[in-house]
Structure 1
């Protein structure tokens, strides 16, 4: 009995996987959104650019290209994003560990 139940479960899993794969391929072919969280730096429709966020991404890339480690670039980007959210929400930022980079940002 358990062998039959296992075979049925495996078949259902295979059918579901094929349906999901076909759906993703169809949506991709039609140019539709595949879902997921909004990429940082883009608008909700994923077509426009949020300049303030895009500047943070550019800064992170610039840091890596200038020889900084990925870790330090990520840490600084997190602090810059925190400060961006603080400026947008009107709450003053409290962290300035990347003060040299933050001082050059125009929010």
Structure 2
């Protein structure tokens, strides 16, 4: 389980060969849209990019670490109904394994 983190060698080593890699993720494109809609929140929204993995980052980490399943969770901004496929597609561009879009508090078993 990787929380608020960005890709790094230690994360790759931690995830190496695991059955399930669970990563909190964000979508920079949607965060940028939020900054435009909520200019007063722009500094805080910009700051989160420094310590959260994007969906693409999670896919790349999963591929490098040769995990079996990537579970995305704790979405920033919150995933809206009907967006699951978009989030998964961004990770799938970098990872060929199983990808699960799990809501917060999802349980997983290998």
| TM-score, normalization by structure 2 | 0.30
Rg comparison, structure with higher value? 1
Q: Per chain length, whose mean CA-contact separation is higher, i.e. which structure has more relative contact order (CA < 8 Å, sep 6+)? A: 2
The structure whose residues are more often helix, as a share, is 1
